Amino acid sequence: MRMELVFQGFPGKLARGYMGWSAVVYVETAGTRILFDTGGPGKRSDIRSRLEELHVKPDDIDILVLSHFHDDHVFNFDYFRRARILLHAKEAEWVRTDPDWFPVPKFLYPALVNTGRLELIHQDMEIAPGVQTLHCPGHTPGCMALVLRAPDMPVTVLAGDAVKNISELATGKVALSRDDEASARAIAQIRDLAEVVVPGHDRVLKVTPDQIVATTAIRETIIIPPGVADREQARYLELVIEPTCLPRT
């Protein structure tokens, strides 16, 4: 099984709003090509070029899995014109109730339905060899993860925003959840299953009996154009979060 980070999530937010820099993951197993989430508006110009670096074209994707219906995870679904599109039935039911919550791009749901390729997941199931859906309600009612199992890799959970960052995985305490208790149960289930977790907005995390370990750093760069802060050249603001670990509580 092949797993590649198309984009790594970032756990920061702004004083004036949220960044929405979420993880996007490519999985290939037994000839089936899967994309987990699509990123938000800020990744619209980059996602196709990033896939090309991985020698993947949008029309190569067989299955597009949407972890939940927030704009930073579903915004670019229309690039994948051949893919079956999987969304949990509980998520679709919730979106159809017209929820008044800022991350939900309600205008996109009719377009998603009109593709004729939307398939609603009613119970956990294997969607390709070694790839199983996992319903993880809490952040949203139909939040859905993927569990990857193969002899050549540790058991890996692509968590979406069921687990947004290292702190949530370590403590079970979450922010921006529709149901905190359901989120805590989902996180406990993921910790029991996984050796590795790809969260929605953080580094890849290793799960040990007593710790959650982020073995890599995150580096992002904000570029201020020439003439704004400096007459002659651009200014680069480096955002760095170093490797770390937290005790499981």
Domains of the chain: 2-206 (3.60.15.10)
Do residues 248 and 170 touch, judged by C-beta distance below 8 A?
Answer: yes
Beta bridge partners of 87: 120
How many angstroms separate the first and last alpha carbons of the chain?
32
Lookup result for tokens 């109730």: 97
Q: What is the pLDDT along the chain (249 residues), one digit of tens a residue?
A: 999 999 999 998 888 878 889 999 999 999 999 999 999 999 998 999 999 999 999 999 999 999 999 999 999 999 999 999 999 999 999 999 999 888 999 999 999 999 999 999 999 999 999 999 999 999 999 999 999 999 999 999 999 999 999 999 999 999 889 999 999 999 999 999 999 999 999 999 999 999 999 999 999 999 999 999 888 899 999 999 999 999 999
Do residues 63 and 36 touch, judged by C-beta distance below 8 A?
Answer: no
Contacts of 197 (CB under 8 A, 6+ apart): 156, 157, 159, 163, 169, 190, 204, 205, 207
Comparing CA positions, the residue from 42, 63, 201, 41 lying closest to residue 126 is: 63
Do residues 9 and 199 touch, judged by C-beta distance below 8 A?
Answer: yes
